[in-house]
Amino acid sequence: MKKYLSLVTFSHTIFAMPFAFIGFFLAVTTTEYTFEWPKLVLMLLCMVFARNSAMAFNRYLDREIDAKNPRTKVRDIPSGRISPGAALTFTLINCLLFVITTWFINVLCFYLSPIALLVVLGYSATKRFTALCHLVLGLGLSLAPIGAYLVVTGHFALLPIFFSLAVVCWVSGFDIIYALQDEDFDRNENLHSIPSKLGTVRALNLSVFLHVLSAIFVILPVFYTNLGIPYYIGVLVYCSMLIYQHRLVKPNDLSRVNFAFMTTNGIASVVFALFFLIDRFIHH
C-alpha cells in the first residue's frame, strides 16, 4: 500500500480534494437538495479512484521519460519499486472502480464517467504534442467542483463552473512554475511545455496572468449567491498565497519552486475551502 501511495503521490490530493468539498457543499447549501452521507462517501471514492488512475497512468506512460530525467529517475517505476505492469493494472482497477461508483450516484454521473476518465488520463500524453498540457492538467482537476456538485444535484449550474474555472487557471499557473525545473530537459527531448516554448520569463508572466484570472473567478460567486465575511477572508488568503508563490520564484532563482508548488498551493486550497465551509455553515 505504501508503494502505491507513493506511485500516485497521494499527498497531492490536497490540491483538488478541497475544491470537491466546495462543489459538494455549494450544492447542499444553495439548492433544495439536502446533505446525505452516502453521497459524500461516493464523491470521495470517485475522487480517490479518478486521481489514482490518472497518476498511475501518468507514471506508466512517462516511465521512459522519467528514467532519463535526473529529477524523476528516482520515481517508483524507473527505480524498480513498482513494475510497469503493476502500475497499469492499478490504473485499470481504479478506472473500473470509478465507473462502478458513479453508477451508484446518478445517471448523469455514470454517463459522464468515461469523459472524465478520458480527460484525466489523456493529460499524460499531451506533453508529447502540445505546450497546452498545463491547461489540460488544470481541466482535469477542475472536474472536482463540478463533479461534486453533480453528485448532489444531478444537473449543471453556473456557480460550480466559476470554481472550476478558478481551478483551471490556478492549476495551470502553478504547473507552469513547476515545469520550469524541466525546461532544458523538455527542450532537449522534444517534449512540449510552456517554459520550453516561451522561456522562463515569459512562462512566469503567463503564470501570473492565469493566477489573476483564478482570483477573479473565486471573487465572481459573491455576485451570484449569499456569501459572507468568512468567504471574503478565504478569498484574501487564496489570493495572498498566489502572490506569495510568485515572490518565491524568480527567473534567475528556481531554488524554491518545490516549496512554492507544494506548500503555498496546499495552503491556498485547504484554507480557502475551510473558510468557504465555515461561511456555508453560518449562512445555511
Please state, in angstroms and rounded to a whole number, the distance separating the CA atoms of residues 34 and 67: 49
* Predicted local distance difference test score (pLDDT) of residue 261: 84
- Torsion angle in degrees (nearest 10) through CA of 128, 131, 134, 135: -110
Enter the pTM of the model: 0.96
Map out the domains of the chain as residue ranges: 2-283
Position 180, amino acid? L
In whole angstroms, what is the distance from residue 174 CA to residue 165 CA? 14
CA dihedral 79, 82, 87, 93 (to 10 degrees): -160
What pLDDT does 21 receive? 98
Low-confidence ranges of the chain (pLDDT < 70): 1-2, 4-6, 8, 10-11
| Dist CA 120 CA 103 (whole Å) | 19
Reduced to 3 states, what is the DSSP secondary structure of residue 98?
helix
Q: What integer pLDDT is reported at residue 65 of this predicted model?
A: 97
Residue at grid coordinates 472536474: 143
Question: Cβ distance 195 to 179 under 8 Å?
Answer: yes
Q: Class of 2-283 per CATH?
A: mainly alpha
